[in-house]
Chains A and B, each alone.
Chain A
Amino acid sequence: MAVLRPARRSSAPLLTGVMCALLLLFLPAASASRDFAPADNETWRNPARSTQEEVPHHQTNSTAHKKAFPVLSFNYEHVRKPFEISLWILLALLMKLAFHIIPRVSHVVPESCLLIVVGLLVGGIIKAVDEKAPVFDSKLFFFYLLPPIILDAGYFLPIRPFTENMGTILMFAVVGTLWNAFFIGGTVYGICQIEAAQLGSVDLLSCLLFGSIISAVDPVSVLSLFEEIHINELLHILVFGESLLNDAVTVVLYHLLKEFSHAGSVTVVDAVLGVVCFFVVSLGGVLVGIIYGVLGAFTSRFTSHSRVIEPLFVFLYSYMAYLSAEVFHLSGIMSLIACGVIMRPYVEANISHKSYTTIKYFLKMWSSVSETLMFIFLGVATVEGPHEWNWTFVIFTVFICLVSRVLGVVGLTAIINKFRIVKLSKKDQFIVAYGGLRGAIAFSLGFLLTDNEMKNLFLTAIITVIFFTVFVQGMTIKPLVELLAVKRKKESKGSINEEIHTQFLDHLLTGIEGICGHYGHHHWKDKLNRFNKSYLKKWLISGNRSTEPQLISFYNKMEMKQAMMLVESGSAAKLPRVSSTASMQNIQPKEQPRRRAMPSISKSREQEIRKMLRANLQNTKQRLRSYSRHDLMIDPLEDNVSEVRFRKQRVEMERRMSHYLTVPAKRQEMPSVRKVWFGPEQQVFTYDDSESPGRPAAPARRGPPDAISLLTESPQRTNQRGGTQAANGGATAKAGEQEEQEEQLKLSRFLSDPGPNKEQEEEEQEE
């Protein structure tokens, strides 16, 4: 992007401006026609569409005479609904794209603000042409727009920080939201009692209801904002976790108060029932999520036969969890999150790599679209909706929301810090308080209120609070974070050392707790892990991966990532530089120094080998391109994992080869460069079997691939590879060096046709 910017600076705004104008013109025309009778549509729309449409004059022609067969006709009603929906989404995404192209704006203003502004513009245009905007349907919001965002959040929730801070998060979510609701409701009622405001008609229960709607921190806004400011993990998970878990409180309070405001009076029994209801809603939601999560994990165990539909299971089970929870008025958000969290470790162990990527990208894509649409609709509904503006009420509400949030956070932290090991400092508290944004959920809940004279008043106030938090707090939090020098997110590269030490620390702390006789966090976590390992993993993970310890899976994932990087960073011919230039030779203790001269390979031979490798790499690529809709790959490279590893190995090998070939005889010792790589799936090298059936797959079976050998293991290896060509005495003294050579050549043999074999055998006989 940086390179493109200078060239496009002049054209980008112009281009986007033109795009916007075109679409904005088109869109109101399209959506506004929704409520008109079909007869009017034609005459109204034709002038507006004249630039887009083909030949409309055919129709006027045909009316006079007998109707000729219409070669080209126009029938918009046919496709109106999907057309309009697609158009809206397209507009939203183009806007999003436009913001990222214009660099200056996106640094200062968070995306959510921009999208709301766009919504306001669109709403304004619709109003200007005096048409009716699409009605903001709460059902649309809760059933279609919200679940993807929550599922994305829940599926990719970082479990470790979440569980470590669970107590704090729950305190903020439950107690904090309750405090907010009652404080805001109470003070607003107090204000309404003042004669001057002329709000005497607002009663206590309505105020409390209003308070409960506006008190909850909104996950969508928080997510959208915190993603941009890259704050440290602890604060992120605190605010974000709070926004997710307060849904239960919001749901209960909202329904409770709604019922009460209909009934008119509250008794103690009702209050007690309310508390019970809270527990039922939250725990019930989580239970529903767990059930569906386990079902999903169990299903994924068998999907190896049909990889293409794997992602669908994840999505559908989660969506069903959400809907099932909504049936019973349980907390759908908590159910969705529980489902995602439970399902993830098992599903990821079972599904193919492609499915994992698919799930990841689809979730990101859907949640991105949803979020964009949500903010735009918010803008449109703001312009359109009936408003009742009351200065006192609105200003006071905004002020009180801020105050109550700050008081709540400070008060709760004072209590929480007594129980935390790592206390929350003042800076942390400020960020938590300041990051409590309200969003579209509050608006939708407000929309669901029954129509009475107070509804418009409330809606106006809610919108103002949302706008205030999103715009003011959203825009200023980034400079404040920098000003206060709050710790930012550290870019971790997934170091294997850190993973080892994380595990080590876990066991160490559990052990120390055992010595102290203290059944603390680590003790219970350890127990849970053991339960997981002995029972759950056996049931929910297919094959022999169920016994794979976490360290190994982590290690495999890292290797995979590196392999992908190697493959993507260019073709094999370019010999990519691996980042760590230290190799095993630097670490292995120097054993018996072997003095042998490296056999020199002629230049032409080297060229030939390189050509072979390159050709075969291309062959593999071509083979991948064809696939049917039901089966991803039918050739022996079925499992993508092995294919990637294979490529990596080839690349690595070529690099090593060129290294040796160009640095001849300088060394006296065999560089025991070893590929540190291990695959638990014992069925890795299927390619071998198909290509060269005669050759025993012995080299492929064990962990270290056959391209490179290891000094200390060479005696062992020669035993293994009894059947192979390394039988030149198999003595350890010579074996290392020769094996190296042979393996390289052998690999090329695997790849190519038997042509070079003869030459190689000649060469080996020479040696």
Chain B
Amino acid sequence: MGALQSLPGQPEYIDLAEKTGFSFEQIGVLHKRFKQLSHNGETLRRDHFNEIPDLACNPIRAQIIEAFFDRRNFRQNGEGTVEEIGFEEFLVVMSHFRPPSLHMTEEQRENVRTEKLRFLFNMHDTDNDGTITLEEYRHVVEELLSRSGALGKDTAKSIADAAMLEVASISMGHMEPDEFYEGITFEHFLKLLRGFEIEAKMNIRFLNMDTPTLCK
């Protein structure tokens, strides 16, 4: 929050602010961080993320990093992954974590919710086929439990299976024994987490950052 150094001029910021909804201050701070992570380069790569010490002990580190390089999160209806991202893409991904403002209509709030849930969905659906299969969900739970050590795979399987059962019963209701539940589509995902109030939970405070005292 001290003096912003020589950063790209205002016009670029205006464009970014419009696109992502951040304020100028927030963009400035994030830009500083971007520069720090990329060692003053123009783009970020995966190994830049791997250098962050705080992320080292996070069980879902790989998925978080992947999310930054996933084209589906760039809001341009792209698909697939990229190898490196610029500041704009960085900001766009970060903008998924902005809190909803106080004066929003119900519809806008619904949009925000859908957007955040979409982000989560993309994180789970690693093969881009539009559904979260049992294998992918098992992988998610395994990663979550990966720090717990001993109990590992079996437990993860049981839990993931139970979770899928739950989704199936919520989305499909009664199923014939011969029917087969392909996987969690985005609609089912929305239905599943409807009561979760994600717009209240999936938020980060973007101001009050003190870049000089940051790690590294």
Contact = CB atoms under 8 A, between A and B. Distances in A.
A582 B175 contact: yes
A677 B59 CA distance: 24
A584 B55 contact: no
Contacts of A512: 64, 94, 97, 204
A511 B193 contact: no
B1 interface: no
A508 B60 contact: yes
Interface stretch (B11-19, B70-78, B80-88, B148-156): B148-156
Contacts of B145: 549, 551-552
A530 interface: yes
A521 to B, nearest CB: 8
B149 A513 contact: no
Interface residues of A, number: 60
A580 interface: yes
Contacts of B208: 518
B191 to A, nearest CB: 11
Contact of B144 (A500, A520, A523): A500
B204 A587 contact: no
A588 B102 CA distance: 44
A500 B165 contact: no
Contact of B163 (A496, A516, A520, A548): A496
B195 A674 contact: no
A349 to B, nearest CB: 15
B42 interface: no
Contacts of A514: 52, 54-55, 58
Contacts of B59: 507
A737 to B, nearest CB: 15
B30 A587 contact: no
A518 B169 CA distance: 40
A587 B149 contact: no
A678 B154 contact: yes
A587 B181 contact: yes
A507 B145 CA distance: 11
Interface string B180-215: 110000000000110110101111111011010011
Given A516-B94, A517-B209, A585 B60 contact: no
Contact of A509 (B52, B162, B180, B202): B202
B52 A515 contact: yes
Interface stretch (A300-308, A419-427, A451-459): A419-427
Nearest to B67: A508
Given A422-B200, A511-B58, A549 B161 contact: no
Interface string B139-183: 011001101111100110011011111111100111101111100
B33 A517 contact: yes
A336 B180 CA distance: 53
Interface in A417-452: 417, 421-423, 425
Contacts of A547: 148-151
B36 A587 contact: no
B175 A552 contact: no
Contacts of B165: 580, 582-584, 587, 676
A722 to B, nearest CB: 19
Contact of B193 (A498, A515, A516, A678): A498
A581 interface: yes
B60 A515 contact: no
Contacts of A517: 33, 36, 209, 211, 214-215
Residue of B54, B102, B174 with most partner-chain A CB within 10 A: B54
B99 A421 contact: yes
B169 A582 contact: yes
A316 interface: no
Given A582-B168, A586-B179, A518 B204 contact: yes
B134 interface: yes
Contacts of B58: 507, 510-511, 514
Contact of B177 (A423, A497, A585): A585
B162 A511 contact: no
Contacts of B37: 515
Interface of B: 30, 33, 36-37, 49, 52, 54-55, 57-61, 64, 94, 97, 99, 102, 120, 123, 134, 140-141, 144-145, 147-151, 154-155, 158-159, 161-169, 172-175, 177-181, 192-193, 195-196, 198, 200-206, 208-209, 211, 214-215
25 contacts: A421-B205, A425-B102, A497-B166, A500-B159, A501-B120, A504-B144, A507-B60, A508-B123, A510-B58, A514-B58, A515-B37, A515-B55, A515-B64, A518-B205, A549-B151, A552-B145, A555-B162, A581-B173, A581-B175, A582-B165, A582-B174, A586-B179, A587-B161, A589-B134, A678-B155
